Structure 1
Amino acid sequence: MSILINKDTKVITQGITGKTGQFHTRGCRDYANGKAAFVAGVNPKKAGEDFEGIPIFANVSEAAKATGATVSVIYVPPAGAAAAILEAVEADLDLAICITEGIPVRDMAVVRDKMRAKEAAGGKKTLLLGPNCPGLITPEEIKIGIMPGHIHRKGRIGIVSRSGTLTYEAVAQVTELGLGQSSAVGIGGDPINGLKHIDVLQLFNDDPDTDAVIMIGEIGGPDEANAARWAKDNFKKPIVGFIAGVTAPPGKRMGHAGALISGGDDTAQAKLEIMEACGIRTTKNPSELGKLLKSVL
């Protein structure tokens, strides 16, 4: 059992013929069940061709109909990435994973509004992971995205993070402890994105094969505080947490576009305090996440 994806998931790569799309599709295909999982690519100019045996289609709808794929991963450059997300949504996929960094916030606002309008009209809800995220992995079954597969081990710890590199840090520590991961999900650091901490926590809460969760956040925005308050009343398993950006000055945008402190609950200290008050054990040192996790199991 896992969340969102498993060994039977079939995946479309949008932007499969670009350098990034080629490189990471190869890496994902070589991991675990990847050969069976990556079944189609999309590039309107190269429809009918193939990438190392993976057929290329003109659009996501055609690729999904021909292959039965329900998930897409997007490596399309920033200028076209929002349109690529909407193409996946219009094709009624279950999940679109957008790796692309640097999509204009205005473009993502349009995507969000169109996704909401489709749902309000009774259309199928497509989940969005990202943009500006490393993707997700169910170890030893399937990885979709840019994370290093070799540090992951099958296990029972769920990981959800806004930061890509800190996802890998937590994964490596959990693997070193001999615990392993049920699924690891990078939600991305942009101000307008799809799945939030709270959505992923809900999935881990319902997953019988996840025993505990590491939640990694950043300064900026209310997401971690909202997730902590939800978890206090609803989450049945131990959570340990870390917030990046304790030393960040207010009003300065840091790295990720969403990491901007405007005041109040979105500083690292405020988030840590809210998480602790909601029963989540936290650390200010990311290298201690594994040890902290072990202490709550």
Structure 2
Amino acid sequence: MAIFLTKDSKVLVQGMTGAEGMKHTRRMLAAGTDVVGGVNPRKAGSTVDLDGRALPVFGSVAEGMRSTGADVTVVLVPPAFAAAAVGEAADAGIGLAVVITEGIPVHDSVAFIARARARGTRVIGPNCPGLISPGRSNAGIVPADITAPGRVGLVSRSGTLTYQLMHELRDTGFSTCVGIGGDPVVGTSHIDCLTAFEEDPDTDLVVLVGEIGGDAEERAAAHIREHVTKPVVGYIAGLTAPEGRTMGHAGATVSGSAGTARAKKEALEAAGVRVGATPTETARLVRAVLDGRT
């Protein structure tokens, strides 16, 4: 089992014909993802040969869905075109849109996320690495060779920390790893992922990675206290961040005492979450919980 992305997912890539699109499509294919084509209205009807596989280019997401049965799109277009790309995918009725693009204006993100929700499309991101169900499918830019299938779920605001925890726990493995993105507005929250992992029979434990800024982790802590029965282990980046300085993601802005790493850590611990001081310590806590030592 996995959440949001399975071995049966059929993936389109909006922006596949660009240099970055081709590079990451190759990586997805190498990971076993069923990439069924790309979308570029200017190159509709052509094909792109990637490592011996000829992938069709469609003029629209709707056309790609009709031709291939695609249910996932990975958005790798420049920021100026991202809102239109996600809106088109949502209007076509795609189930999942993974928005890798960074630098999207917040008002654009607010608009396309609302549009997608109204049409039943889940958005992962923007400004995210995507998600991977190891051994099944990989939608985005997450390295596929640093971990293995397993029974741990991972949800993270930070792409780099997603990779680090995947590597630290490569011997344990993961059901699904979701990088939700670090922008102030994202389509899928910690709470959305916690809910899905709670319902997944093949996820035994969840790792939650947060960072300074906003109140997403505090809200996740309240949700865990009321609704999550599986063990959760956390890590909050930014405990040593200097006060009054904006760091990292666009969403990593601290205002007064709100959004500090310490406040988030305390909220999670009050909800019964074991919180590591470093990624390595977090991985040790995961192993200890799985082994029944804590």
Equivalent of 1:240, from 226, 233, 236? 233
Q: Find out whether 1:160 has 2:150 as its counterpart.
A: no
Give distance in 2, aligned partners of 1:88 and 1:220: 30
Tell me the TM-score normalized by structure 2. Answer: 0.95
Q: 2:276 matched to which residue of 1?
A: 283
Indicate how the Cα distance of structure 1 residues 113 and 9 shifts in structure 2: closer, same or farther if over 3 A, else same. closer
Q: How does 1:165-176 map to 2 (within 5 A)?
A: 165-175=160-170
Tell me the TM-score normalized by structure 1. Answer: 0.94
**Structure 2 gap ranges (5+):** none
Indicate how the Cα distance of structure 1 residues 90 and 3 shifts in structure 2: closer, same or farther if over 3 A, else same. same
RMSD: 1.1
Q: How does 1:129-168 map to 2 (within 5 A)?
A: 129-168=124-163
Give distance in 2, aligned partners of 1:27 and 1:16: 12
Structure 1: which amino acid aligns with 2:3? I
**Structure 1 gap ranges (5+):** none
1:251 Cα offset (Å): 4.0
1:182 Cα offset (Å): 0.6
Equivalent of 2:188, from 172, 185, 195? 195
Give distance in 2, aligned partners of 1:110 and 1:139: 32
Q: Find out whether 1:125 has 2:120 as its counterpart.
A: yes
Indicate how the Cα distance of structure 1 residues 226 and 108 shifts in structure 2: closer, same or farther if over 3 A, else same. same
Q: Does the Cα contact within 8 Å between 2:38 and 2:57 map onto a contact in 1?
A: yes
Give distance in 1, aligned partners of 2:262 and 2:105: 29
Q: 2:100 matched to which residue of 1?
A: 99
Equivalent of 2:247, from 232, 249, 254? 254
Q: Find out whether 1:44 has 2:41 as its counterpart.
A: yes
Classify the secondary structure of the residue corresponding to 2:67: helix
Classify the secondary structure of the residue corresponding to 2:184: coil
Structure 1: which amino acid aligns with 2:204? D
1:277 Cα offset (Å): 0.3
Cα deviation code 1:141-199 (max 9, x no counterpart): 11111111111201000011000110111111111xx2111111100100111100000
Give distance in 2, aligned partners of 1:26 and 1:71: 17
Give distance in 1, aligned partners of 2:183 and 2:231: 27
Give distance in 2, aligned partners of 1:7 and 1:253: 39
Cα deviation code 1:104-126 (max 9, x no counterpart): 1121122234335xx2xxxx310
Structure 1: which amino acid aligns with 2:21? G
Indicate how the Cα distance of structure 1 residues 248 and 75 shifts in structure 2: closer, same or farther if over 3 A, else same. same
Cα deviation code 1:41-77 (max 9, x no counterpart): 0000000001111100111111111110011001001
Q: Does the Cα contact within 8 Å between 2:12 and 2:64 map onto a contact in 1?
A: yes
Classify the secondary structure of the residue corresponding to 1:248: coil
1:4 Cα offset (Å): 0.6
Q: Does the Cα contact within 8 Å between 1:164 and 1:188 map onto a contact in 2?
A: yes
Give distance in 1, aligned partners of 2:149 and 2:25: 21
Q: Find out whether 1:20 has 2:20 as its counterpart.
A: yes
Structure 2: which amino acid aligns with 1:159? L
Q: 1:54 matched to which residue of 2?
A: 55
Q: Tell me how many residue pairs correspond in the alignment.
A: 286
Give distance in 2, aligned partners of 1:141 and 1:249: 41
Q: Percent identity?
A: 49
Q: Greater helix share, 1 or 2?
A: 1
